[in-house]
Structure 1
Amino acid sequence: MKKIKVKGKHFILSLVCLILGFMIAFSYHLTKIENQNENFDRSGKQYEKTLVLRNQLIAQEETNRKLQKELHQKQDKVLKNEKDLAKEAQVFLNQADDTEKYRMFLGKVKVKGKGVKITLSDGAYDPKEVNINNYLVHEHHVFKVVNELYISGAAAVAINGQRLTSHSYIVCNGPVITVDGVQYPAPFIITAIGDPDVLAASINLTGGIKDQLVNDNLVFTLEKINEMVLNPILGS
């Protein structure tokens, strides 16, 4: 076998290649480490950024909860105020209704509605009857009818078109009666606004007002009216 002699220049070339390879390997390893460090730095910064955003989100959620709680409290307060206002409005409406009813009972406002018309006339002349008062309409006859109408729920009552109030007075003077100072001859027309069926049924009860008046020899008629108007008291 032939021996190969290593010359000096070959040795130097090999040494240079070895050194160059070592330098390339070292450079690659150093670059890899730097990249890892850079990635680590980037990961750390991203984590810090994520942590800051998370804390901001938590703080915002806490603020939202506080605002939502405050909103619910204000909504409850608004609801309570609305209920209080509704109660006050209802009280006002009730007072307004009561005031209107009082004005109506006092005869201060015009009233329109259904009702009844009752006519009381003197009885036919009877020559056998010595006392003429036994077939004339008197104030107590009118009182009976008026009281029965009010008891049955009449909202307003008038005699010959003149409204009655709680202070009205009726006085009999022979063949005429005086209502609050105004005289009226027979027949006496009593009008009342209310439920016609209820008012008529009350007047027509067996043994009631109608029978009593007929037994006193008076002429009695009752009509149901679909619509009537009672004017207020003059000067009210």
Structure 2
Amino acid sequence: MKVRGKYVIYSLVLLVTGFMISFSYQIANEEDQRPTNDQWRREDQLRTSILSLQRENRKLQDELEGTLKSVNKMESQLANQEKKSFNMVEEAKKLRKVVGEVPVQGQGIRVSLEDSSYIPASENPNDYIVHEEHIRMVIHELYVTGAEAIAINGQRISHTSNINCVGPVVNVDGVKHPAPFVITAIGDSDVFWSSLNLSGSITDQLVDDGVEVRMEKEADVEIPPHIAREG
């Protein structure tokens, strides 16, 4: 019993000693891992630098976004100005075509009006020749159906051109033209053709008036600029 008691005491002493040694080792290890004042100072400086850089990055990012918005706004304004300028140029081109300041070329139609080749002996010859109103009828119909430019015997006319009969010839803005009167127009030739050949159209009226009418679609018509002349 005494021997066994010694063993128990020795065991307790060894156990306490081992515990103390283990505890001392753990404390020493934790102290080794605990940062020193210099380490704390360096880490604090590093955190401060990182925060400062983050603030500077956010500031630069905000400035960049503001600059990009300004650039996008300027680009949009420039695009609108370019579009307006382009539209103005195109509108000016159209106006120059309408008033006849520039030559025009494209598809179209050719309408030839001639005096009747047959005049009954008992009839008035003036009833079988082309008059100014016949030419005006054709020109009006061509304008209504989208003609960009019209010429009579190669002479460009405008919406304000003066057309009148002078005996057997027609005076167009002071220039006399004998029959046949060839009216050329630039535009959609199919539309012109359909409009002029409708039942009861002006073509039928011209034929009823004794005017000989010939029409041809043209793939390429060229009409010169309008030249103002004295009557």
**TM-score, normalised by the number of residues in structure 2:** 0.81
Q: Distance in 2 between matches of 1:107 and 1:39?
A: 99
Give secondary structure in 2 for the equivalent of 1:171: strand
Q: Distance in 2 between matches of 1:175 and 1:231?
A: 25
Give secondary structure in 1 for the equivalent of 2:74: helix
1:167 maps to what in 2? 160
- The answer on whether the counterparts of 2:156 and 2:227 sit within 8 Å (CA) in structure 1 is no
Gaps of 5+ in 1: 1-34
**2:132 maps to amino acid:** E
Gaps of 5+ in 2: 1-27
Q: Does 1:61 align with 2:54?
A: yes
Cα deviation 1:31-81 (Å, max 9, x = unaligned): xxxx99x97997321221122122111111111112112211211121121
1:219 maps to what in 2? 212
Q: Which of residues 71, 77, 99 in structure 1 aligns to 2:70?
A: 77
1:6 maps to what in 2? none
Q: Please, which moves more after superposition, 84-93 or 185-194?
A: 84-93
1:195-210 alignment, distance < 5 Å? 195-210=188-203
**2:219 maps to amino acid:** N
| Percentage identity across paired residues of the two chains | 41
Shift, 1:233, TM fit: 2.5
**TM-score, normalised by the number of residues in structure 1:** 0.79
Q: Does 1:229 align with 2:206?
A: no
Query: RMSD in angstroms over aligned alpha carbons?
Result: 2.2
1:1-236 alignment, distance < 5 Å? 43-234=36-227
| Rg larger in structure | 1
Q: Please, which moves more after superposition, 54-63 or 172-181?
A: 54-63
Would you say how many aligned residue pairs link Structure 1 and Structure 2? 201
Q: Distance in 2 between matches of 1:92 and 1:192?
A: 30
